Structure 1
Amino acid sequence: MTLTAPTPHAPPEIGPARTHRLTTANRRTAAAEMRAIVAALLQVAGHGSLVDSARLCTSELVTNVHRHTESRLVHVEVVLGEDEVTVRVYDDQPHPLPVPTGADSAHRECGRGLLLVDGLADAWGTSYYGAPRATTKAVWFRMVRGGRGAS
């Protein structure tokens, strides 16, 4: 018996994590649509304790795409692990988002969503993709069962 290499279009092997990719138009209702879908995925996957925090974080990140970019589409990737969840929100505007700092940051409207994400998520950050210059940005957060975002 001879083994051959898999074809480039073969489906990925199923492992302990499950990945869901969602896309919607970058419109006013995108945040509501994505937070509802992410909440449903987490609930079905047994991550009910993370639903409320993940819903809020997803809403904030998708809202940032709507308010601060001219991307036509918003892509959301949800990776469901055994004990953790990672959500990435992609856009095609790779400039950094404003993050408030200093004493007046609690009173500024712009950037407060990222402060909420920072307070609820166990980890979060920004990743840039494309070569030789970044063409896509993903702002992501990770929540762990029993961590900060668990209720």
Structure 2
Amino acid sequence: MPHPHPLTLPASESYRFIAPNTPRAPRIARDWVGSLLRTTDHPALVDAARLCMSEVVTNAHRHTRTRLIHIEVTVGPDQVLVHVHDDQPRSLPVPELPRADQAESGRGLALVAAYADDWGATRYGECGERGGTGVGVKSVWFALAERGAAAR
């Protein structure tokens, strides 16, 4: 079940990337995180990070009308934490088992749950409910740890 995760890791470096919400965003974000992890002493996490990034950014592209997809990657000594933010915070994603008629889609969050060491979704700000301003964001995040890389 999705749950909140801290935004930072101890002794970490953060990198940010902003992509327009276009069909190219998942591929560009996937390539960016792969390049980043190859140069930050986490090559064992590259494949899992690329897969998870692609799935989470694809969900932001397909299921929101956000204009920009904001990505933050925090690289710690033993773990990498990725947040993908959009400005559609009302509904948090939940992995579902794909139906038989979903052979080519519907598996994204199930893949993230299988490949990430941890993952979740968090709302920040007001979501427009009960008189709120509607100013808020949603972050779908995943964490990858070096100790989990051997098991994958």
Same fold (TM over 0.5): yes
CA distance in 2, matches of 1:60, 1:33: 12
Residue in 2 that maps onto 1:59: 54
CA distance in 2, matches of 1:92, 1:149: 35
Percent of aligned positions that are identical: 43
Q: TM-score, normalised by structure 1?
A: 0.81
Which letter maps to 2:45? L
Structure 2: runs of 5+ lacking an equivalent: 1-9, 127-131
Structure 1: runs of 5+ lacking an equivalent: 1-14
User: Which runs of 4 or more aligned residues in structure 1 lie more than 4 Å from their structure 2 counterparts after TM superposition?
Assistant: 148-151
Between stretches 129-138 and 64-73, larger displacement belongs to 129-138
CA distance in 1, matches of 2:22, 2:151: 29
| Larger RCO of the pair (alpha carbons < 8 Å, separation 6+) | 2
- How large is the RMSD of aligned CA atoms in angstroms? 2.0
Residue in 2 that maps onto 1:147: 148
Residues 85-108 of structure 1, C-alpha deviations (whole Å, 9 max, x = no match): 00010000112235214xxx3643
Which of residues 72, 75, 83 is equivalent to 1:77? 72
1:21 is the counterpart of 2:22: no
Instruction: Give the number of the structure whose alpha-carbon radius of gyration is greater.
Output: 1
Q: How many residues align?
A: 134
Equivalent positions of 1:2-151 (< 5 A) are 16-94=11-89, 95-101=91-97, 105=98, 107=100, 108=102, 110-131=105-126, 135-148=136-149
Deviation at 1:135, TM superposition (A): 1.7
